[in-house]
Structure 1
Amino acid sequence: MNTQAPVMLVTGSAKRIGAAIIRAAHSQGYCVIIHCHHSETAANRLAAQLNDMRDNSAIVIVADLAVVNDDTALNQFVQNIMSAFGQLDVLVHNASRFYPSPLGGINHGQWDELFLTNAKAPLLLSQTLLPYLKHQQGCIISLLDIHAKDKPFTNYTVYNMAKAAHRMMVQSLALELAPDIRVNGVAPGVNILPDPNGDQALDLTQQQEIIDSIPMQRIGKPEDIAHSVLYLIQAHYVTGEIITVDGGRSLTMAGSGF
């Protein structure tokens, strides 16, 4: 199926920031590919809502990003992506695992998982989708982290390293793929709190401490990130840039903790 509308793929986009990017792009006329791994129910719900607004404008693809470790599986994943709407204009790397890895307890599983989602999959997926993005003169946008440069989270060494690698990928590919494909990044601060039911949940005191540390005196919104992504899509003379969207927090942050 070919479409005159531009097409965006967002990895890890069933919920939270990824879903906000999907909704924002859809509202601007994009056909959207919602990728998920474990959140298939939420992804299907989001796609149904968007298709109710505009028929045949959203599709869900379920896959573990570990497909990048197997050429056959990766090629099938890409085939599924390209068969959705027949083209790809924007690739957004949003999927990410995030958890602490204190020194003394770091293991191969943590290394493999954190580097897979935060560095390896973005690189190899970009490489495999390159011909299709080039055909559309498209762009790549990566979701990074304000802690990926100079201000690491304490006890999150593996995550910090993986996000720093992803940041360097953005800058490296911006050089290598110019002038055909632009590559940029968005570095959120606290634009969404950890899942209250997850292992990174914060209590009310911790949440208030975070708010107090932000010059704008509030938690950001997923829509703030989505707005920056849409800007970078339209900024045709911008490549290799990383926009910080953190309410000014990185100006005052020492680095440790939230």
Structure 2
Amino acid sequence: MSKVCVIFGGSRGIGFAVANIMLEQCFKVAIVSKTSTSIDNACKILHSKAKGGASVLGYTCDITQEADINKTIAAITKDIGPIAILVNSAGINKDGLLMKTKLETIQNVLQTNLIGPMLTSKAVLKSMIQQKEGCIINIGSMVGQHGNVGQCSYSASKAGLVGFSKSLAKEVASRGIRCNVIAPGFIDTDMVQDVANRDKLEKHTLLGRFGKPEEVAQAVQYLVEATYVTGQVLTVDGGFSLNL
């Protein structure tokens, strides 16, 4: 029987690439996004990739609202079965120097990037404990490890994700559940389309280019299959951080 993989932020970017690779591995995939239009568009493309026991369904959910998360997890479980894999890829980034950043912006970034994944993880734990297995993968950022000018809120949210994931890994390891973080560098997604000094950043990267969403998805696939890995941060940045 195909296992169920839920991807928050699965309608575009890294999350969409993860959905693709999970379908190739014959998972039952549920992609979750805030807007129904993005879900519909993504599902139309992904349906063609579903073969064998694989399938894909889309769900709308506001990751900042616990009640909405719980409702969505319950619906997915009812529709396609207990969740074995949770990938938290939903995130936002609002750059700006801290002294010019409004409290509302700080709270919004933290609520989406950190508290959201905490709540989605909380929502799936009971079922995973009953199954005596589970895999939670949180998409962080190299910025959460090294910081960056103008990204205090974003960096704090991704650094918090590391601490949360390591703590959760300790809490649930005895129940057969693993929790890890992937820390991408500069990946060609909507979030970096307007990044300044791209040429300079690419030259700073050891591999000489920005990464592809599919390359982060490969790391997700590894962590799904690597059953003796938990509480770790897997950096996928083309060697960028080695030049810091």
Say whether the fold is shared (TM-score over 0.5).
yes
Q: Deviations over 1:202-247 (max 9, x none)?
A: 36xx221111110111111111110010100111111001111111
Secondary structure of 1:227's aligned partner: helix
| Unaligned residue ranges in structure 2 (runs of 5+) | none
Distance 2:48 2:239 in 1: 38
Asked if structure 2 preserves the Cα contact closer than 8 Å seen for 1:194 and 1:202, the reply is no
Distance 2:188 2:101 in 1: 27
1:145 to partner: Cα distance = 0.6
What amino acid is the match of 2:28?
Answer: C
Distance 1:193 1:121 in 2: 21
* Equivalent runs, 1:73-84 vs 2, <5 Å: 73-84=68-79
Matched residue count: 240
| Equivalent in 216, 233, 251 of residue 224 of structure 2 | 233
Q: Which has the higher helix share?
A: 2
Asked if structure 2 preserves the Cα contact closer than 8 Å seen for 1:101 and 1:110, the reply is no
1:48 to partner: Cα distance = 2.6
Match of 1:118 in 2: 113
Secondary structure of 2:98's aligned partner: coil
Asked if structure 2 preserves the Cα contact closer than 8 Å seen for 1:8 and 1:31, the reply is yes
| Equivalent in 132, 137, 141 of residue 141 of structure 1 | 137
Distance 2:96 2:112 in 1: 15
Secondary structure of 1:154's aligned partner: coil
Secondary structure of 1:158's aligned partner: helix
Secondary structure of 1:42's aligned partner: helix
| Equivalent in 183, 196, 210 of residue 219 of structure 1 | 210
| Equivalent in 82, 91, 97 of residue 92 of structure 2 | 97
Q: Which runs of 4+ in 1 moved over 3 A?
A: 52-56, 193-196
1:103 to partner: Cα distance = 2.2
| Equivalent in 12, 23, 34 of residue 37 of structure 1 | 34
Q: 1:97 to 1:186 in 2, by over 3 A?
A: same
Match of 2:194 in 1: 201
Match of 1:156 in 2: 151
1:89 to partner: Cα distance = 0.6
**TM-score, normalising length: structure 2:** 0.92
Distance 2:49 2:13 in 1: 20
Match of 1:108 in 2: 103
Distance 1:131 1:238 in 2: 21
User: Over the residues paired in the alignment, what is the CA RMSD in angstroms?
Assistant: 1.8
Query: Is 1:23 matched up with 2:23?
Result: no
1:195 to partner: Cα distance = 5.0
Distance 2:18 2:3 in 1: 14
| Unaligned residue ranges in structure 1 (runs of 5+) | 254-258
Distance 1:81 1:138 in 2: 16
1:53 to partner: Cα distance = 4.2
1:133 to partner: Cα distance = 2.0
Asked if structure 1 preserves the Cα contact closer than 8 Å seen for 2:24 and 2:49, the reply is no
**TM-score, normalising length: structure 1:** 0.87
Secondary structure of 1:66's aligned partner: coil
